[in-house]
Amino acid sequence: MGAHIDAAAALTSHGRRRPNARRLADAAARACLARVGREAGDIDMLINAGVYREDHLGEPALAALVQEDIGANLGQPPVGGHGTFSFDLANGTCGVIGALKVQAGLLRSGVIKLGLTVASDVDPGPSESRSTPIQPIGGAVLLSWDDSIAGFTDFYSETFPEYAGMLVSGLMWRPRRGLRVSPGAAGESRLVIREQPGYLARCVDCAEEATRRFLARLGMDIADIDLLVPAPAAPEFLDALRVRLGVPGDRVSFTGEDMAGAYTAATIAALEVATKSGRLAEARNTLLLAVGAGITVALALYRQAPLPAGQLPDLALRQEGALE
Amino acid sequence: MADNHASRAEHWTVLESPDSDAAWGCRVDSVGVKVPAGTLTTRELLGRTKHHTRIQLERLTGIHERHVVGPGENSFTLATGAARDCLAHSEHRAADIEVLISCSITRSRGGMSQSFEPPLSLYVKQAIGATQAVNFDLSNACAGMLTGVFLLQDLIARGEIKCGMVVSGEYISQLGSNAAKQIRSLFSKQLASLTLGDAGAAVILERAPEGAAGIDVIGFTTLAEHSRLCLAFPSTVGPGAQMYTKSRTMQKVAIEDIVPLLAEVLGQAGIDLDDIEYLIPHQTSARAIRKGTAEFARRLGAKPKHVVVNIEENGNTASTTLFVALHKYLEEGRMHKGDRVMLLSIASGIEIGIAILTVDSQVDRYGRTH
């Protein structure tokens, strides 16, 4: 028994001129629910793990707006009724695995029965951008409890703060200059994304190191992994990592060209390919791997086979201090 | 374990309680704060408004002054200061923290008015030496810290970790400065921005020893039908954000809808509202708090023994209000072992979070610094 991936859906903005992160998340959430015939009202917990939005909304959590848009348990709370709890979790590309971990834990406790994670980003035209532009892509993944499979058994995360400066982003105030600057438009907060050369190469190093450590702790070998669900999907990262780890191409969930440039939704895009092709259901051991700013590496092991009777998934959260 | 899933009663709130068959109890080990030294009185703030207004903000909200950051201070420094203060009141060392969650709305650091990546939690854990901790940021408006507590409580109750920290640094007074440039009257949707003050807060949660008191129940829900009543995004009049709030509607909706949620959470804990020694609600305005608690008392037929209002000297410090108030009451020695405390988050979303905890030996570690 374990936390089971019911469905995953990822989509693009279909070339819209002004893509909108919230609408992308809404559409992905609806597509994901439709895929398994579930209602929005069934969702107990909705986590948004997206980072970049066109309006840089600070509050409320974007997840609350998505909850309203998809109509998940609106209206007054009657005692004994059923509600939805929404919030945002931010950890760049690793945020989706973090959200899945939160929900896998709460499913195991029986606190929730159905969890939805959404992630979407748009590129609001940063003044200093990264090597690969962010494409407007949204994703959603549904998690529930299933008695017949092991599901998510182990999560692992590791940070390499010595490389924290290699990808830094945020808003910076830029005052407008000139004689006719009105006080109401004295300037603007511009998104700045600074990526140093060699960032993705360093991501490969960190991902390899963390993956080897994770598998060693589990007493597993890379050959035991039947399917790798990676993020990001950029070839300069993924091809190098595959070679370093020795994962054959037929064991990787590659996303199509339409999903190139997916940011926080990259994990979901790769999961969608794996669920649609049926490979997630076939693979005994699936490794979810995400690497992002920090440098942070997040890993999760998803097992199809039921655990031996009486054995509960460990779900232990482990981390090794990179500076130790 | 799976049997729990089938048998669990339906709740409106997503609810964690001893009824969840948790392996372990979870309790608050220590609370820390970092309040910047600078202050700004309501009179001074209103003296800075661009347009002449006759808003009697102090009379309306009960806020006399708020603390504001000085040069070199920002969300990150406030969070780090609070985390250090929290460790100073704890028997845990930074190396014991297994998970660290940063929960602020504002995330200013260095030259960035709002930093996105890497998450602020990474910088905080490095600064305090909790390098081994798993970290992530969480954003849930003014309910951020209590949401973090909700997540840590589950990890501790399941035995996955023994110790974790929730931290938040709010440099949010910029919203007040931005609003002051635009507000024309009492009916401005930016009025609530004038109530904001800066503060950092941190809380360490730990596995409770066998039989010890701790968090009795914690429930959360999002009344998303009202998700657009309070919105904040970057300003064009100055650095930081500007916030638009339909305060009256929000207050009305919140009071109306909280009552059944309170009843649900109290029912889960098996107690009544008058068993609560201290109710610590989110600090928005003294008048709103008084009105709200009077309504709770009328509808639930009971009232808590004390309602904590510390807005006079701090203003609304966003996601940190509950823990700034809890810290103050611990420091002043007002809380005693066995006291039941209710933390009530009301935030944009509308997020409603309710936690009931029983104060234990942590009271012994406070109040000696004075």
* Per-residue pLDDT tens over the stretch A96-114: 999 999 999 999 999 999 9
Query: Which pLDDT value is given to residue B211?
Result: 84
Q: CA A117 to CA B136: how far, in whole Å?
A: 15
The dihedral built from the CA positions of residue B186, B188, B189 and B193, taken in this order, carries a sign that is negative
R_g (Cα) of chain A, nearest Å? 20
Judging by beta carbons within 10 Å of its beta carbon (0-12, 13-18, 19+), is residue B70 exposed, middle or buried?
Answer: exposed
Q: Inform me whether the pLDDT recorded for A211 exceeds 80.
A: yes
Q: Do A79 and B21 touch (CB under 8 A)?
A: no
Q: CA A87 to CA A60: how far, in whole Å?
A: 9
Judged by a CB distance cut-off of 8 A, whether residue A105 touches chain B is yes
Q: CA B150 to CA B147: how far, in whole Å?
A: 5
Q: CA B245 to CA B243: how far, in whole Å?
A: 6
Those residues whose C-beta lies under 8 Å from the C-beta of residue A290, and which sit 6 or more positions away, are: A93, A94, A96, A97, A230, A231, A232, A266, A267, A297, A298, A299
Of B8, B235, B261, the CB nearest to A110: B8
Q: CA A51 to CA A254: how far, in whole Å?
A: 23
Question: Measured between CA atoms, how close is B224 to chain A, in angstroms?
Answer: 5
Q: Which token pair is A186? A: 């004295």
Query: Which pLDDT value is given to residue A310?
Result: 52
ipTM score above 0.90 = yes
Q: CA A202 to CA A180: how far, in whole Å?
A: 46
Mean pLDDT of chain B: 92
Q: Inform me whether the pLDDT recorded for B185 exceeds 90.
A: no
The number of distinct structural domains making up chain B is 1
Query: Which pLDDT value is given to residue B19?
Result: 57
Query: Which pLDDT value is given to residue B107?
Result: 97
Q: Inform me whether the pLDDT recorded for A1 exceeds 90.
A: no
Q: CA B75 to CA B67: how far, in whole Å?
A: 13
Query: Which pLDDT value is given to residue B3?
Result: 43
Query: DSSP H helical segments within chain B, as ranges?
Result: 2-7, 42-47, 57-61, 75-88, 120-128, 144-157, 174-180, 247-269, 286-300, 311-314, 321-331
Residue B46 placed within a domain: yes
Query: Which pLDDT value is given to residue A4?
Result: 95
Domain membership of residue B243 as a residue range? 11-365
List A227's β-bridge partners, or say none. A286
Q: Inform me whether the pLDDT recorded for B6 exceeds 50.
A: no
Question: Measured between CA atoms, how close is A21 to chain B, in angstroms?
Answer: 14
Q: Give the number of other Cβ atoms within 10 Å of residue B273's Cβ.
A: 20
Q: Inform me whether the pLDDT recorded for B2 exceeds 50.
A: no
Of A58, A67, A110, the CB nearest to B232: A58
Helix B144-157 and helix A95-109: axis angle, to 10°?
60
Residue B1 placed within a domain: no
Q: CA B273 to CA B290: how far, in whole Å?
A: 15
Query: Which pLDDT value is given to residue A158?
Result: 97
Query: Which pLDDT value is given to residue A321?
Result: 40
Categorize the per-residue pLDDT at A15 as very low, low, confident or very high, splitting at 50, 70 and 90. confident
Residue for token pair 């028994």: A1
* Per-residue pLDDT tens over the stretch A311-324: 555 554 445 443 33
Residue B246 DSSP label: -
Mean pLDDT of chain A: 91
- Best CA proximity match to A259, nearest among A129, A158, A121, A148: A121
* Per-residue pLDDT tens over the stretch B325-364: 999 999 999 999 999 999 999 999 999 999 999 998 888 8
Query: Which pLDDT value is given to residue A206?
Result: 98
Q: Which of A91-95, A156-160, B238-242 has the lowest mean pLDDT?
A: B238-242
List B41's β-bridge partners, or say none. B65
Of A77, A157, A171, the CB nearest to B234: A171
pTM of the predicted structure, to 2 decimals: 0.95
Q: CA A241 to CA A263: how far, in whole Å?
A: 18
Strand ranges for chain A from DSSP E: 2-12, 45-48, 85-90, 114-121, 137-146, 151-159, 167-175, 187-195, 227-231, 285-292, 296-303, 317-318
Judged by a CB distance cut-off of 8 A, whether residue A145 touches chain B is yes
> Which of A1, A26, A87 should we substitute to test contact with B (largest number of B Cβ atoms within 10 Å)?
A87
Q: Inform me whether the pLDDT recorded for B304 exceeds 90.
A: yes
Q: What is the CATH number of domain A155-161+196-318?
A: 3.40.47.10
A2-148 CATH pick, 3.90.380.10, 3.40.640.10, 3.40.50.720, 3.40.47.10: 3.40.47.10
* Per-residue pLDDT tens over the stretch B40-69: 999 999 998 888 888 899 999 999 999 999
Judged by a CB distance cut-off of 8 A, whether residue A307 touches chain B is no
CATH code where residue B96 lies:
3.40.47.10
Question: Measured between CA atoms, how close is B353 to chain A, in angstroms?
Answer: 10
Judging by beta carbons within 10 Å of its beta carbon (0-12, 13-18, 19+), is residue A256 exposed, middle or buried?
Answer: exposed
Q: Where are the domains of chain A?
A: 2-148, 155-161+196-318
Those residues whose C-beta lies under 8 Å from the C-beta of residue A250, and which sit 6 or more positions away, are: none
Those residues whose C-beta lies under 8 Å from the C-beta of residue B84, and which sit 6 or more positions away, are: B32, B34, B128
Residue B370 placed within a domain: no
- Best CA proximity match to B57, nearest among B347, B317, B345, B315: B315
**B36: preceding bond cis by omega (within 30 degrees):** no
Query: Which pLDDT value is given to residue A178?
Result: 84
